[in-house]
Structure 1
């Protein structure tokens, strides 16, 4: 590291004199209440990206300045980790961020819907905090709103450094070692700025495995800052980054950091050592758990406080429409070493933070590994059923420290994602049934499965159906998988995707009808209709000739019905296989045919009647 000489000791200089304010934000993907997420989850893409920088700053705040601290003098002010009382009372909503003033929670702006109220709230937040750095995580459908956020920040704080990261950066900005060049997709931030399709309001972009690269950038900003005004310019930060590189500073992971200095872009590719996903600091270390999902009901009927957790970073399958595929992400990383034990310890940490339920956001739970699933379920079942917390493994006892923690662990619910193939063709039937029983006995009370389409004509183009058997078509495979889960007593939610290759009005009608039959038979408790939205790096985007046409930057494209009824969808970036009439049809027909099951896991009258009939028939 490059350290200034004569640094003051912690006793000489109060913390506020050597820290500088910042603000992080999650760019939303919706513009109206009609499209609002009814049960918003925590912004885990942002929390995960910030895990290393936040950990470094919190350790520096505890140690004080000096060469032993991650930040040797000036340090970003992420506040303090929330106290337990705050964690146990945290709820969603922007006003709650003001209540959490002084904690790391207050450094994150998370509006979920981008409207006039959110704009005004961001402007007010910038005026309150006066941030020196503004960090934004954005997916492609939220990119235009991320740019508008940056404009607001620059309008209020022209010297504030704006940093973009997130999935849109990952998909649109890469480094080619063979060509020794940065490769930018048409919809990338940097190319849009260079082509003057958008304003130059972004100073740094980070893509790839950027946890450590972002931490390095924050350290370079701190070292480049003027001590009196705590401000830095892009050229000054670039100079420090070069000094750090010349000094031999290396960080783990494969990522790309770009700095924008007028018309010049400075690229800093990172090709560091591989790292174990479990070695990353906890995403919730600095932030309270705010999610409450009704799929995890408490005894009083209220939704449980639900933590998000992952043990892998990508999907091993290669669906051509999905931006979570390992081919798009750039490789598959997961918990290694003693993965099941480490995952249990992390889960216990989240329980100590107030989690009453945990949803594993992995595209496929434990990347579909039955041995890892069995090991994790056995460890979790054992932890939940020991005689007392003193009998827990040492790593869990660190977190389960009072009766409240112990009660939450014993009653913990969890959910995860599976596929139809995982529960049918990839394993023998008895192995599947045994695995489902192990999940249930460990506390799994909800599974989520991507149905995508019920049309064989559509699914023949999708790599999700990796075991194609002529006598076992996709439609039958989905029903068989759901029946096995039902037999295990675990409710299932599902997602349905319209607009894939081969989609027609006839295949749409077939899918709506067949999913409705699954609802009628009590095989799914939730059905979420979605419209294919083109992600920049996916195969289907190129196949449909959209990779150099995606407009994710223009601020004046107003969203409207019927697009607002679907998450991420808006004109110009949805499937070319769908007309606007088709999208209206999907919205109206799924609402009519699927009823309250559409986008809701809360019981409806029809489902209650189904259960009553089954009970009278002796089938449950």
Structure 2
């Protein structure tokens, strides 16, 4: 730490506070400190086909914002000055939703933010990008006039993220645009010790540099960005003029540099890049490791809106469903998956008394109105049976509690009203497992015991990635780890589903077409074999998907697609049959599939799997 730079930083903060106070003649009330912001989850679709009929909450965005929102809410309560995370100006995320707002919140695909009385209206979450969504977005920009727009995107949504950035610059030229999310994580990294910034062809940073897109992005955040994004927003606040009209990117870069020189360090491994007129400025951070359980609750500033039909209530309506994660990556390293720990940069989990902290988090969500919880982890508790048992035992005890004295102290502050108790006792949850976890990595008696513990704790749904039922395909997939002669993958899939059914838990599955070794024959085999599982009541939902190339995955490199991925052009025609699969676009889907194959997959799964297939309504191809 440089004492001179620390003194300079302190002088900057002090002088700004003094000038603010002199201007207002007051104790710097919230109204003179706040500036509007807007966050966006970039959509991945251009039509309302597929799973967005029941859209989930934008948890990747909520999680990324968790530290920044927590610090802003604390700063609004605490006021300006030393000890406040934002010491003068501060982004305005509104106030935490009231209990009444939380219990009234719902999610309609179009009318999600129709008026300001709706909680969490600082997030724009359209789920599709079409003319109406663009008009809604422009109206939201004009209404809120944010000084900062934050966009989270995965690769299939990147073209729409860039369109949103372009629209923002048209409407509000001085609004800073910050881009993050998995696509940025996968396409931008800093090599320690070399001073070298590596950007992939499909990186927005490289697309700006070679002018495939215009200069519509000001900052990008990659890696474990929870604390890095908060640091960036603090730099924006210190760089913004005191009239709260704008912050110049070059001034923000200068403040970021000053913060670093003054000794500011953030936990985790992350990278901030700023784009000015003449250069790209990289700010890599390698701070202390942090516990995923210590991050602020993602729902602290936002209402739970999801309603998933896999969790039906007594009247048949879908339960209000919270999302939850206790790990950030998958321990497997399948070559097609962007959630693998080898792609994400390591496996991070709840580490501090994990089961107890997870149960407390569930009680918090129940107090927010959750009637169900779905664990978005790639594998429930990373497939660790002792942790699954510990969590289920503690959750069962909490659900059976007769009163506050039976609850752990950390849960008592959340479960206070009669309706909280009703939701807790009737709580359902769902999770994701793997075939090998159920059939190959543990003794069958241990699997039965774990499934029974899950069912006792309220598990009413599990989701499992089948991927393919063809041996020629599954020999390349890392999920098929324990291979035993005479026990093919399809037999393991069936046995896993039988064990789940014996436990009384309904199951759903995803099927991925286009992996290495895929042919029309293996497609037909998978369609038929999954159909047999449906016939035998082993599957209640089957979701067909098309392999889409993600920038950082091994299969993308193996197929020679790393320097050919077009995730930036706005005018790519998203047409049938691609629109029937959530992340499929021409030019970025598996080279192992022809367009005729994709039509065949759409039509044959709709016919063979019937209503068990999500989005099962078949669309016939044109013969004109």
What range is the shorter-chain TM-score in? Answer: over 0.9
Q: Look up the match of 1:167.
A: 182
**Counterpart-to-counterpart distance in 1, 2:419 and 2:279:** 55
1:227 corresponds, among 232, 242, 246, to: 242
Q: Which runs of 4+ in 1 moved over 6 A?
A: none
Report how many residues are paired: 601
Q: Look up the match of 1:196.
A: 211
Tell me the C-alpha RMSD between the 2 structures.
Answer: 1.4
**Counterpart-to-counterpart distance in 2, 1:354 and 1:600:** 28
Q: Deviations over 1:540-599 (max 9, x none)?
A: 001111011000000111200000000010100000000000000000000000000001
Is the counterpart of residue 332 in structure 1 residue 318 in structure 2? no
Q: Look up the match of 2:14.
A: 4
- Please state how far the C-alpha of 1:488 moved relative to its aligned partner: 0.5
Over 3 Å counting, the alpha-carbon distance change for 1:229 and 1:398 in structure 2 is closer
**Counterpart-to-counterpart distance in 2, 1:171 and 1:419:** 25
Superposition map of 1:72-471 within 5 A: 72-93=87-108, 94-101=110-117, 103=119, 105-471=120-486
* 8 Å contact from structure 1 (residues 209, 253) kept in 2: yes
- Please state how far the C-alpha of 1:12 moved relative to its aligned partner: 3.1
Superposition map of 1:50-61 within 5 A: 50-61=65-76
Q: Look up the match of 1:587.
A: 602
* 8 Å contact from structure 1 (residues 30, 36) kept in 2: no
**Counterpart-to-counterpart distance in 2, 1:36 and 1:10:** 54
Over 3 Å counting, the alpha-carbon distance change for 1:533 and 1:10 in structure 2 is farther
Q: Look up the match of 2:509.
A: 494
Q: Look up the match of 1:608.
A: none
Q: Deviations over 1:38-79 (max 9, x none)?
A: 211000000000000000000000001111110000000000
- Give the match's secondary structure for 1:281: coil
- Please state how far the C-alpha of 1:230 moved relative to its aligned partner: 3.3
Q: Look up the match of 1:511.
A: 526
Q: Deviations over 1:24-44 (max 9, x none)?
A: 000000001234612110000
Over 3 Å counting, the alpha-carbon distance change for 1:54 and 1:316 in structure 2 is same
Over 3 Å counting, the alpha-carbon distance change for 1:178 and 1:473 in structure 2 is farther
**Counterpart-to-counterpart distance in 1, 2:82 and 2:117:** 29
**Counterpart-to-counterpart distance in 2, 1:520 and 1:389:** 46
**Counterpart-to-counterpart distance in 1, 2:597 and 2:123:** 38
* 8 Å contact from structure 2 (residues 51, 615) kept in 1: no
* 8 Å contact from structure 2 (residues 28, 79) kept in 1: no
- Please state how far the C-alpha of 1:290 moved relative to its aligned partner: 0.4
Q: Look up the match of 1:30.
A: 45
**Counterpart-to-counterpart distance in 1, 2:117 and 2:228:** 28
**Counterpart-to-counterpart distance in 2, 1:14 and 1:383:** 42
- Please state how far the C-alpha of 1:180 moved relative to its aligned partner: 1.9
**Counterpart-to-counterpart distance in 2, 1:248 and 1:137:** 28
Q: Deviations over 1:495-527 (max 9, x none)?
A: 000000000000000000000000000001000
Over 3 Å counting, the alpha-carbon distance change for 1:560 and 1:320 in structure 2 is same
2:34 corresponds, among 19, 22, 33, to: 19
- Please state how far the C-alpha of 1:435 moved relative to its aligned partner: 0.6
**Counterpart-to-counterpart distance in 1, 2:441 and 2:281:** 47
Which shows bigger deviation, 280-289 or 383-392? 383-392
Q: Deviations over 1:181-233 (max 9, x none)?
A: 11101100000111111111000000000000000000000000100243110
TM-score between both structures, scaled by the size of structure 2? 0.95
- Please state how far the C-alpha of 1:327 moved relative to its aligned partner: 0.2
Superposition map of 1:552-563 within 5 A: 552-563=567-578
- Give the match's secondary structure for 2:396: helix
- Give the match's secondary structure for 1:54: helix
- Give the match's secondary structure for 2:435: coil
- Give the match's secondary structure for 1:106: coil
- Give the match's secondary structure for 1:190: helix
- Give the match's secondary structure for 2:40: strand
**Counterpart-to-counterpart distance in 2, 1:457 and 1:444:** 34
- Please state how far the C-alpha of 1:337 moved relative to its aligned partner: 1.8
**Counterpart-to-counterpart distance in 2, 1:73 and 1:230:** 15
Q: Deviations over 1:296-342 (max 9, x none)?
A: 00000000000000000000001110000000000000000200000
* 8 Å contact from structure 2 (residues 509, 542) kept in 1: yes
2:496 corresponds, among 466, 473, 481, to: 481
Q: Deviations over 1:467-489 (max 9, x none)?
A: 11112111100000000000111
TM-score between both structures, scaled by the size of structure 1? 0.95
Is the counterpart of residue 550 in structure 1 residue 550 in structure 2? no
- Give the match's secondary structure for 1:313: coil
**Counterpart-to-counterpart distance in 2, 1:69 and 1:122:** 32
Superposition map of 1:522-541 within 5 A: 522-541=537-556
Over 3 Å counting, the alpha-carbon distance change for 1:501 and 1:422 in structure 2 is same
**Counterpart-to-counterpart distance in 2, 1:102 and 1:472:** 54
* 8 Å contact from structure 1 (residues 36, 113) kept in 2: no
Q: Look up the match of 1:573.
A: 588
- Give the match's secondary structure for 1:354: coil
**Counterpart-to-counterpart distance in 2, 1:265 and 1:101:** 40
**Counterpart-to-counterpart distance in 1, 2:99 and 2:210:** 49
**Counterpart-to-counterpart distance in 2, 1:204 and 1:304:** 38
- Give the match's secondary structure for 1:135: strand
Q: Deviations over 1:101-143 (max 9, x none)?
A: 484x110000001000000000000000010000000000000
- Please state how far the C-alpha of 1:10 moved relative to its aligned partner: 11
* 8 Å contact from structure 2 (residues 146, 175) kept in 1: yes
